[in-house]
A and B are shown apart, each in its own frame.
Chain A
Amino acid sequence: MLTDWRFWFSVPAVLALGVVVLFPTGFLFWMSVSHWILTEPGVYFYGFQNFATLLNSSAFHSAAWVTVSYLVLSTTIMLGLGFAFALALSRPGSPGYLRALIVMPLVIPPVVAGFTWRFLLNGEIGFLGAYLLPAIGLETNLLASPVGALFSVVIADVWSRTPFMFLIFLAALQSIPRDYYEAIRLDGAKRYQEFWLVTLPMMKGAVSVAILFRIIDALNTFELIYVMTKGGPGRATQTFSLLGWKIAFQGFDFGGAAALGVVMVFATTVVALIVFRRFMRSA
């Protein structure tokens, strides 16, 4: 292999990849088994103690529950909405301005989206929280209630990231050959059968890609939740990302934060593999 000149062309790319991906990942793994707490002098090998402390903490358990709830809720709503919008606007002649309108939130940074929603939902001065919701009989202060706060960050995230799903589904829908629909219509299929027997099977690959992106995105969501609730009230919206930030920047426990990072890498990989095996291979 070393004598093959083509091999040497790949070396720079492999080296670059090693520097920007492998080294930080390796460093993360090394940190996760190190005792590295700012308040306690000395960095040394700590075995799996960081993992044991993390997995036994109530903060980890509640963050796991919040992360899964957030992931499932936001992914389900996003997939549904993204698919529905794409179906509605995939037909030739559908208005372009509507597509632009749907895609618009995607260009707004998550921090700005978070602040916008925080002010909108504020129970004392927000347009939605203080005026519109009470006007229709919903007196609850969404951001201050544990369940309401979780729904609020899900809503903000759905608003912000559904356009991405929409774009994936729109592209996939527009790539389905029209012949398939014509053929099934000749066989006397009804509208719902067109959807069930042609659209859905042809969209399998796109859906799995969308789910994969979404899972990675949801597990890493930080800015939006941070500016909206800072993980609260209490720990009601404290996902793994926020917990990691707290462990590192409030607890100054870099080994503990790295251990959580490794858990997140592991969780993401497992879920991605499941999605890949379940959908992508058969797509």
Chain B
Amino acid sequence: MGSISKRIVRLTAAVGLLSATALPTFAATEINVIGFGAGFAWSDLFGASGTEKTQKLLDFEAKYDLVVNMEFADEEVARQKVLLDLVNGTGNYDLVMLGSDGAVQTFSAAGYLEPLDDYLSTATDIFDASKVYQPFLEANTVNGKLWGLPYYSFGAGVVYRKDIFDKYGITSFPETTEGLEQALQTIKEGLAADGVDDVYPLTMRGAPGEEPSLDLSGFVYAYAGYPAWFEGGPTTPDEIKKEKAQPIFTGDFKPGFETFVRWSRDYGPPGIATHTWVDMMNLYAQGKAVVLMPSAINAFAGIPGSEVPEVKEHSAFAPSPVGPSGKAVQSFWTFSVGVSAFSQNKDAAYKVLAFLTSEPVMRDFANSFGWPYTTYPEIMNSPTLTDRWPAEMLSQIEASFSDADPHYFPYIPELVEFMDQIGTAASSSIAGTTSVDESLEDLQGWASERMTRAGYYK
């Protein structure tokens, strides 16, 4: 009996000692992150499965006494998880995935995000904002405050099949939308004359929902010369309220919208009214599209895996064409990450955010995938990319960042809803369900009612 008591005492002491020594491990601050694209995003930190922890990440955790818990989900699922987490104010996720096409604007207005400006000086050894392409930070700036740091980001451009352009006598890529339309017509006629019926002059995205709006808004900007959503082109809620600027979807918005729809119908594949960026990418990679625009990065995503030799050998990049206003067609987006306003560990969360968007991490991303897009000029002009891509192409892509107007659509809290309505209207017109005028009339009526209900015209 005595021996059993001694054993119990010893066992208790051992457990106590173990607990004491293990305590520092448990005391590390845990930071929960949610994102999408397992095996693609941060694969250098979380491995190809998205569930591992590489030595690089473990070193970071050890250095700052942090534990990073990453949760990957399908993009749509992740967006909904973020929304529900923020709406309920649970703070379950310290870092949330955002996007400069709606989430940043909506969540910052709702008070769900922590402004990052004051944090920027707290971890300069990890993240230096001055070294990032400034438009990517601007894209995440709403009402003068920074709400997210950019990860995967891109500007506008065109990827096209130079061999097919050459074949039909187009020796240089057109610099204007008018010239490009003529080129597309020439290619269409050439393909038809050659009996090629499964290659399309153009691929863009026209699926219902927010999908086409990023690119379509770029057409509107190029044709109107300003973000022609509201009278006078205001881009902030205060400006819209001050001027009581009414929607102009049946006005200056129309030429760009109409062109996007016409090009999609006349030069795109038959299913374009349902196409997402994935369809664009696949069609181009399969050699079934001659031009992919204006979100050129989607072509670069498909080219490496293409089994069509001509796609790999004869793809070329060109700057986005200039519209009648003298401004180029836009497409500018950042997949950014922000700190939840409900996080219990905001300082630690920012450290992790700084690390996830830091130059070494972005360099590893560039190394892994080799796409000619990055958020740091230093990476763009280093052998990581210069060894893989022509210098001229890299400088054109760099120009697509610096020349871009990240605010080519209004930065209003209702942006996600507007993007959805605009994209659905475009899809409807591309499919022929409604004419351009009918779609825009409907959009105009909806927008007027929505903005009135939101109190913009009191």
Contact = CB atoms under 8 A, between A and B. Distances in A.
A232 B110 CA distance: 30
Nearest to B454: A40
Contact of A234 (B429, B445, B453): B429
Interface in A90-143: 122-125, 129-130, 141, 143
Contacts of A254: 87
A264 to B, nearest CB: 20
A124 B283 contact: yes
B106 A39 contact: yes
A15 interface: no
Given A40-B454, A59-B446, A233-B208, 18 more contacts: A39-B413, A39-B414, A40-B413, A41-B110, A58-B445, A122-B271, A124-B198, A124-B271, A143-B271, A143-B274, A232-B209, A232-B428, A234-B425, A235-B428, A249-B80, A250-B417, A250-B419, A252-B106
Contacts of B198: 124, 130
25 contacts: A38-B110, A40-B413, A53-B449, A58-B442, A58-B445, A58-B446, A124-B198, A124-B279, A125-B282, A125-B286, A141-B270, A141-B271, A143-B271, A144-B273, A232-B207, A232-B431, A233-B428, A233-B430, A236-B428, A236-B431, A249-B80, A249-B83, A251-B417, A251-B420, A252-B416
B383 interface: no
Contacts of A122: 271
B278 to A, nearest CB: 11
Contacts of B270: 123-124, 141, 144
B271 A39 contact: no
Nearest to A229: B274
Contacts of A141: 270-271
A41 B454 CA distance: 10
B424 A232 contact: yes
Interface in B92-116: 106, 109-111
Interface string A31-59: 00000011111000000000001000111
Given A38-B106, A39-B109, A41-B110, A234 B273 contact: yes
Closest A-B pairs by Cβ, 8 of them: A234-B428, A232-B208, A233-B431, A233-B273, A39-B413, A141-B270, A250-B420, A144-B271
Contact of B455 (A40, A149, A231): A40
A126 B80 CA distance: 30
A235 B424 contact: yes
Contacts of A205: none
Contacts of A146: 431-433
A204 interface: no
B420 A246 contact: yes
B188 interface: no
Given A141-B270, A252-B83, A231 B209 contact: yes
A146 B434 CA distance: 10
B209 A235 contact: no
Contacts of A59: 446
B274 A232 contact: yes
Interface in B14-52: none
B208 A238 contact: yes
Nearest to B289: A124
B246 to A, nearest CB: 19
**Chain B contact residues (Cβ within 8 angstroms of A): what range?**
35 or more
Interface of A: 37-41, 53, 57-59, 122-125, 129-130, 141, 143-146, 149, 229-236, 238, 246, 249-254
Contacts of B431: 144-146, 232-234, 236
A231 to B, nearest CB: 5
B359 interface: no
A230 B278 CA distance: 14
B427 interface: yes
A252 B416 CA distance: 9
Contacts of B286: 125
A149 B109 contact: no
B288 interface: yes
B453 to A, nearest CB: 7
A253 B417 CA distance: 10
B258 interface: no
A250 B428 contact: no
A151 to B, nearest CB: 14
Given A39-B454, A246-B420, A250-B417, A233 B80 contact: no
A121 to B, nearest CB: 9
Nearest to A232: B208
A251 B279 CA distance: 25
B425 to A, nearest CB: 7
Contacts of B428: 232-236
B201 interface: no
B269 interface: yes
A233 B279 CA distance: 15
Given A123-B269, A249-B80, A233 B274 contact: yes
A149 B274 CA distance: 10
From A37, A130, A235, name the one whose CB has the most chain B CB atoms within 10 angstroms: A235
B210 interface: yes
B66 interface: no
Contacts of A37: 454
A251 B106 CA distance: 10
Nearest to B429: A234
From A129, A130, A149, A232, name the one whose CB has the most chain B CB atoms within 10 angstroms: A232
